[in-house]
Structure 1
């Protein structure tokens, strides 16, 4: 297995597509959610290897999720998936130190390669 994942996005189609693709690539999808509060609750309960999270979501956005997950575990692997081009939001994202930021749209192959490289880093 390549690792456990929770997926957070308010777009159900994206959740379904990512879930199916990651399952094919031997990742364990532990849960999905549609806002930042669900991300925090799922992370607290499940402690996955990775959190894949959108930023722009209703109610509790991904900034909320990223901030609170990092408070729980500063080493949490949170990959932000965003189509946001607002520089002030980008600054806030970077201040919270996500593991990586991928701009939407992104090739899912790139995401899988990234997750595998984080899980099994090349020894230096």
Structure 2
């Protein structure tokens, strides 16, 4: 079973997203609320995937992505966000995230990302 971590500052979004992930067969190991949580949880659990929101208080998703990639260049990171500006898209490309999922969530897209990453 593929395991993952979900990080978003909105607890309702985290809860709904985790339910969706469970429905498609992913095991959610932990949940976080900011970029610092994302880094700590990634280092602790080393999940197959980590889903990270971009805009969060304290430490944002960019902080999380950069620090997780420093710790593990092969980390599989999926961004979850409401909107990605052009310059942010370029930055995400340079950080080598595997996908961007826009809110509201598309269950089929989430399934396809998991299939693409783990069955190719």
Equivalent residue number for residue 89 of structure 2: 90
Question: Where in structure 2 are the equivalents of 1:3-18 lying within 5 Å?
Answer: 3-18=2-17
The offset of 1:95, in angstroms, is 1.8
Equivalent residue number for residue 42 of structure 1: 41
The offset of 1:10, in angstroms, is 0.7
Equivalent residue number for residue 53 of structure 2: 54
Choose 40-49 or 14-23, whichever is displaced more: 14-23
Query: Could you report, residue by residue, the CA deviation over 1:7-59 in whole angstroms, capped at 9, with x for unpaired residues?
Result: 01111111111111211222110000011110000000000000011101111
In structure 2, what is the Cα distance between the partners aligned to 1:56 and 1:48? 22
In structure 1, what is the Cα distance between the partners aligned to 2:8 and 2:17? 10
The offset of 1:97, in angstroms, is 1.3
Query: Could you report, residue by residue, the CA deviation over 1:62-115 in whole angstroms, capped at 9, with x for unpaired residues?
Result: 000000011111111000112234323222222211111223333122112211
Q: SS of the residue aligned with 2:52?
A: strand
Equivalent residue number for residue 107 of structure 1: 106
The structure-2 alpha-carbon separation of the partners of 1:106 and 1:22, relative to structure 1 and needing over 3 Å to count, comes to closer
- Give the alignment's TM-score, normalised by structure 2: 0.92
The structure-2 alpha-carbon separation of the partners of 1:106 and 1:25, relative to structure 1 and needing over 3 Å to count, comes to closer
- Give the alignment's TM-score, normalised by structure 1: 0.89
In structure 2, what is the Cα distance between the partners aligned to 1:52 and 1:108? 14
